[in-house]
Structure 1
């Protein structure tokens, strides 16, 4: 395998935690705001099918990878399965308060079906791109509390736990891609992942904004005032999607690796909060 920046002592923990089983769901759970709630619900609606796709794309190359990457893939698969399970519950709670999530899930499913018609290597490259999105969102969510400020306690705990584990396994798909493309020239390897990132960025924004609009329409709030407030949140302060787009340019730099941003200190803080009960979670 090509050289990697992944820390040799990195631990990808297997946590079996459950969230939201014992609470009454809230319709506008993020700050009482329909726009922020719709955005995060739109994001969550893509996770179960998306994370199953990630697992399939990475598992395809598992048997040919050396240690410690092979064990990291196993840990990645476990974490992603837990994320899928918990977001199924989270999405069901959105349904319980009156949202129709099925069209959003169908849109994500159609997008994944389109990607699955590509080669296994292209599917892996798409996984790398989307894992970079989740790692970027995860870092920002943990580094700046304003991203989740105003969310209900249990929703905040779920998203913080998810963010922490996305940071832990942020390089597994990328290191698998490096191994799978080890016989390519550096330029060809970079070109393939960069082109796939461009397409993935466009498709990601299309799906998320269509999903968000669907939910706002169900609330009767798909209007200029709601979108102006939401876009200010997403692109100004705290700038969730503005930071994600900046992360795209970082990813497309030749020689990029996810662990060139060593955020283990941030991860340790989140782990300490988890162990202290903040965020509180219900062990399985």
Structure 2
């Protein structure tokens, strides 16, 4: 879905469930982060499309867990973004929730036409079927794999696809509905928040969030210049992507420095308030996953995800 839709939906959810504009803005800021993997970041276009980086690199649960260490509200924003993108069709490449571990599985049990494939003695875990090239070719041109449309490659169907095409009815419904919710919250009787509150810098919190928004938007701008640099009309401005990108990185560093106290408090809360739980999760979850895989593939059997 489009960035304004992600932003409005996350902001509306934050306002309704926390009744705190500062927290809601952090959630909305987090909702912008995942689509940075749509920007090429100077990766060759062929590698970018063939490796299917978009809706994978930053659209996954491990990214949410990493950002949770910085701020649970930013992590919630990423989750809401990924959840919305799970409704979109193969044209926008769905969402690869468990990237990069999904890349460890190399084949589907059924080929791209739904036919049973002979088992590979070197493989023990399979996805159920492979990604049909006839669907993959419907993706936007910069997201479309470069292999032949009719070539049946062993690419497992790793992604979650939905029913909604980007920029169509559901996207616009999310956007307009979210704006309506924000307006209802803003003008609700008894709401003490008003526009003047936005002009106040309470302990610098809004200004810190503003630096975060500036960093993300500058990085988006650098990525857009890079993506569109091959256009004959815009190509002469392609050199600008380097200083813009550097400016975004600097702003991101400034934002991180301003957030340092919040990050330290968050880490203390996570690791010091209940360290036993953290250790148990870090140990038990990997052991459980490993145990299930070994159990389902024992005696040479294949396991299907």
- The structure that is helix-richer by fraction is 1
Pairwise same-fold verdict (TM > 0.5) = no
- When the two structures are superposed, what TM-score results if normalisation uses the length of structure 2? 0.28
- When the two structures are superposed, what TM-score results if normalisation uses the length of structure 1? 0.29
Q: Which has the larger radius of gyration?
A: 2
Q: Which has the higher contact order (CA 8 A, sep 6+)?
A: 1
